[in-house]
Each structure stands twice: as C-alpha cells, then as structure tokens.
C-alpha cells in the first residue's frame, strides 16, 4: 500500500451536506460546486500572463451550467463538432469559439462559417478545400485559420505521457511536410485557393500533442511548438500572430490534492513571450479546469465477501462514470456514513479493511475503485462521493448499457455555505 491509495477527500462542505440530504432514490447523482469551479478557473486565469488566452475545451464537460460558470474566467471555448458548436453558442451566447476536430462534414463547415467562429483549426488540406468551397458561396464571409500540426516533439520529452497524440501516426492535424504545403496554398497568390485567399486568413499554428503533462513538461513542449511555428512563418514570410498550444494539463487521479502548477506555467509562458513580442499564445485545457469541481455521489446497495475479498456494490457504475474503467485507475472517493439501519436483518459491512467498489452492471469491468482502503468499515446504506468527476465523466460514458436510470444532476450555486441546489 502506498500513501497515495488513501485518497484525500475533496468534496466541499456544500457537496457533502447536499448529498447527505438526498433520498436514496435520488442517487446516484452528479453534484457540481459552481462557486468552487469559478474560483478555480479565476485562479488559473490569474496565473497566466496577459498575452495568453484561456479557452475551455468543451468536450471535457459541456453541461450548460458548467460552461456558464466558466464564462468570466475564459476568453472563449474550443468546440470540436457541429453539435458542440450549436450547444456552446446557446449556453454562452456571444463567447468566442475555436472550431477544431478531425472529420468536419461539409454541413458542419458551412454552419461554422455562418456562425462566425473566431478561430478555425484546420486539420488537413482537404478541409482547406472544403472551407474554400463554402467561402466561394458566401462572398462576405471571412475565416481566421490556425493549421493544426502534428509536430515531431523531442525524443523523450513525452515518454511519461498518458495519451500522446503528436509526433507519431495519428488522424489529427497535418504532418510537418503537409503543413508546409497548406501554408503555400494559403499564401501563394496563384493556385486553387487563390479566389478566396484574402478571406481565408492564416493566423498561426495549433498543436495539441499530449495529455497528462506537468507544468515543466508542458513548458518544454510549448517551447518546441512555438520555435517550430516561428521557423515555419519565417520560411514562408507570413506573420505569426498566434500559436495555440492545446490542452492536456495534468490531472492526477491518484492524488486528488495535487494540482497542475499554473503559477510556474504562467511564469514560463511569460518568459517565452518576452522573446516573441506581439505573439498571442492560446491554451485550451479541459480536464484540468473542470475535473475537480464535480462529484458522483451514490449509495452502497450491498456488501459481500467473494473468495476472501470485500465488494461494495453501489447504485450506478461505469455506465455513468466510465473514466476509471477506461483509464485503469481507482476513482478517489470519500464516504458519508449513514447511521440507522431500518431492516430486521444484519447490515452487511466491509470487514477486510478494504473493498472494491463495483457498479450494477453485469460485467467485471464495472469497477469504480479497486481494493480501496478508504472503504474500510463501509456498510450497506452508507454513501460514497467520488471525487474528480467533473470532466470526461458522464459525457463519455455508455449510458444505455443495461438500461439503469440516469443519475440526477445538481448544480450547487450561490454562497458556498448555502449550497443552493439548482436541479438540472
Ligand atoms: C481534448 C482536447 C483538448 C483538451 O484536453 P484536456 O486533456 O482535457 O486538457 C484540447 N484541445 C484539443 C484539440 C483536444 O482534442
């Protein structure tokens, strides 16, 4: 057992008292602490120098109250589909949008041009041609483009990364040689894009290469991306206005108290910007903004011993919170003991000092936390509050599998002490 297996509780008082007040049939429930989310996002923003713009990657958690709570802290939102585009526009009207993602359909491209998205992250030459075709039909439309590039990043720099998306074969972005070709298409006065060239403005480069980087690794990556982009701009004599260096700031599920070092990151970006006067940097984190401000709360239905190990079966499971199953971790949690047992039979309890927290699905993969010491003494009827469920949780889960009911959604707002619940 390492120190890290005993999870430090992160549920705020507002969340714990709200969960304690719910009826069993109201569980499981996602509970968000919106004042905590606002405070976290404001602190992230405050750590960034002036020429760094903060966008929120909506795919991490696109729930409307979450998007709205971030509005004051972020410069804009990154969307990666026509669906996200329409949804985010409705949830936070007027907010600047960056539109990315591979495989944009002609209809999505047209809708995004009509919506006047702030920045376009172009993933291929084919996408440029499609974009040009849409512009040809809309004489007044103008789009500002960043080329998404799959850069070869320095060997070793990303070895520790959970989910590397760059520097190796992927469906994302343009390889460096294709990026050169795309720049030529956009900057040369002749060629297939020439008729709309002035309305298809190359503003810079986008790169989202990795996920799970600590601040120092992230800074090293940003240095590489900006250096490469500056050389590209110099070779082709275009003005490098902006570089979007993506998201992927680390979130450590084994240590809920740990945070990405935004202060060190902001200071490092400031030094980099001193060497690039006039350049705008943009970052688009998802997970590191919202993971900490959502919880998945539920009730223990049963506790049983199987071949020497304790299992606590909870309402819900990985069809609501798939993250631990896909990432192969134990979701950190805290427990809320519920006193009183109204039944005439014995109350089952964890007696081995640890338990595996499983859900209701008929598959051995439905495990939220494996052999967790934090489950010592847990009884049927007690409540469990899973931490770090504010990102890539509900919206990436397989909700329909086994047809269990959906969880409730509770957005706590107002002064933290009151914990006023707004039902979603
Ligand atoms: C998913 C994604 C992000 C956000 O990544 P996080 O790991 O949640 O910070 C940002 N940009 C792009 C292009 C993405 O695909």
* Structural domains of the chain, count: 2
268 and 309 both lie in a single domain: no
Placement of tokens 């990556």 in the chain: 221
Residue span of the structural domain in which 388 resides: 13-32+292-422
Q: Would the CB of 287 count as within 6 Å of ligand 1?
A: yes
Q: Would the CB of 284 count as within 6 Å of ligand 1?
A: yes
Q: Is residue 210 part of a domain?
A: yes
Q: Would the CB of 119 count as within 6 Å of ligand 1?
A: no
Query: Which pLDDT belongs to residue 152?
Result: 82
Q: Is residue 345 part of a domain?
A: yes
Profile the chain (424 residues) by mean pLDDT over runs of 10 residues: 43 95 97 97 98 98 98 98 98 98 96 95 97 96 97 63 66 95 94 93 96 94 96 97 97 93 98 97 98 98 98 98 96 96 97 98 97 97 98 97 97 67 50
Q: Would the CB of 28 count as within 6 Å of ligand 1?
A: no
**Final residue in a domain of this structure, among 261, 285, 309:** 285
281 and 310 both lie in a single domain: no
Residue 285 CA, closest ligand 1 atom number: 9
Query: Which pLDDT belongs to residue 10?
Result: 82
Q: Which of 60, 122, 150, 163 to mutate to test the pocket of ligand 1 (most atoms within 8 A of CB)?
A: 60
Which residues does 170 contact at the CB level (< 8 Å), separation at least 6?
A: 150
Query: Which pLDDT belongs to residue 167?
Result: 73
**Final residue in a domain of this structure, among 219, 254, 285:** 285
Give the number of other CB atoms < 10 A from CB of residue 55.
Answer: 27
Residue 284 CA, closest ligand 1 atom number: 10
161 and 266 both lie in a single domain: yes
Q: Is residue 87 part of a domain?
A: no
136 and 263 both lie in a single domain: yes
The pairs formed by 130-139 with CB atoms below 8 angstroms and a separation of 24 or more are 130/104, 130/106, 131/200, 132/192, 132/193, 132/195, 132/196, 132/200, 133/106, 134/106, 134/109, 134/110, 135/196, 135/199, 135/200, 136/195, 136/196, 138/113, 138/114
**CATH assignment of the domain containing 156:** 3.20.20.10
Residue 283 Cα to ligand 1 middle (Å):
9
**Final residue in a domain of this structure, among 250, 285, 320:** 285
Q: Is residue 47 part of a domain?
A: no
Task: Kindly list the catalytic residues.
Answer: 362
259 and 160 both lie in a single domain: yes
**CATH assignment of the domain containing 392:** 2.40.37.10
126 and 262 both lie in a single domain: yes
Query: Which pLDDT belongs to residue 6?
Result: 37
Residue 354 Cα to ligand 1 middle (Å):
35
Q: Is residue 314 part of a domain?
A: yes
386 and 352 both lie in a single domain: yes
């Amino acid at each position: 057992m390492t120190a890290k297996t005993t999870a430090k509780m992160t549920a705020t008082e507002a969340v714990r008292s709200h969960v304690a007040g719910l009826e069993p049939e109201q569980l499981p429930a996602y509970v968000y602490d919106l004042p905590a989310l606002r405070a976290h996002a404001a602190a992230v923003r405050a750590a960034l120098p002036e020429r760094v713009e903060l966008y929120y990657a909506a795919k991490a958690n696109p729930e409307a109250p979450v998007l709205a709570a971030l509005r004051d802290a972020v410069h804009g939102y990154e969307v990666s589909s026509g669906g996200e585009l329409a949804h985010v526009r409705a949830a936070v009207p007027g907010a600047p949008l960056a539109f990315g993602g591979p495989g944009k359909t002609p209809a999505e491209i047209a809708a995004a041009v009509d919506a006047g998205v702030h920045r376009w992250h172009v993933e291929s030459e084919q996408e440029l041609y499609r974009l040009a075709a849409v512009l040809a039909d809309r004489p007044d439309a103008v789009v500002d483009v960043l080329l998404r590039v799959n850069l070869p990043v320095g060997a070793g720099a990303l070895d520790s990364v959970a989910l590397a998306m760059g520097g190796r074969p992927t469906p994302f972005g343009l390889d460096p040689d294709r990026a050169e070709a795309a720049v030529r298409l956009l900057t040369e006065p002749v060629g297939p894009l020439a008729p709309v060239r002035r309305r298809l403005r190359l503003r810079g480069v986008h790169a989202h290469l990795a996920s799970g980087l600590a601040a120092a690794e992230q800074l090293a990556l940003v240095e590489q991306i900006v250096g490469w982009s500056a050389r590209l701009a110099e070779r082709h004599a275009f003005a490098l206005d902006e570089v979007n260096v993506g998201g992927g700031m680390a979130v450590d599920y084994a240590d809920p108290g740990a945070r990405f070092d935004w202060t060190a990151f902001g200071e490092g970006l400031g030094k980099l910007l001193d060497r690039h006067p006039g350049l705008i940097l943009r970052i688009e984190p998802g997970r590191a903004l919202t993971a900490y401000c959502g919880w998945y709360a539920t009730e223990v239905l049963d506790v049983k011993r199987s071949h020497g190990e304790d299992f606590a079966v909870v309402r819900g499971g990985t069809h609501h919170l798939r993250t631990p199953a896909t990432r192969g971790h134990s979701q950190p949690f805290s427990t809320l003991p519920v006193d009183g047992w109204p039944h005439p039979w014995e109350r089952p309890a964890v007696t081995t000092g640890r338990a595996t927290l499983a859900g209701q699905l008929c598959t051995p993969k439905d495990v939220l936390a494996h052999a967790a010491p934090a489950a010592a003494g847990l009884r049927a009827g007690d409540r469990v509050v899973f931490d770090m469920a504010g990102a890539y949780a509900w919206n990436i889960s397989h909700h329909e599998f086994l047809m269990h009911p959906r969880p409730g959604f509770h957005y706590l707002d107002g002064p933290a002490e009151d914990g006023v619940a707004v039902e979603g």
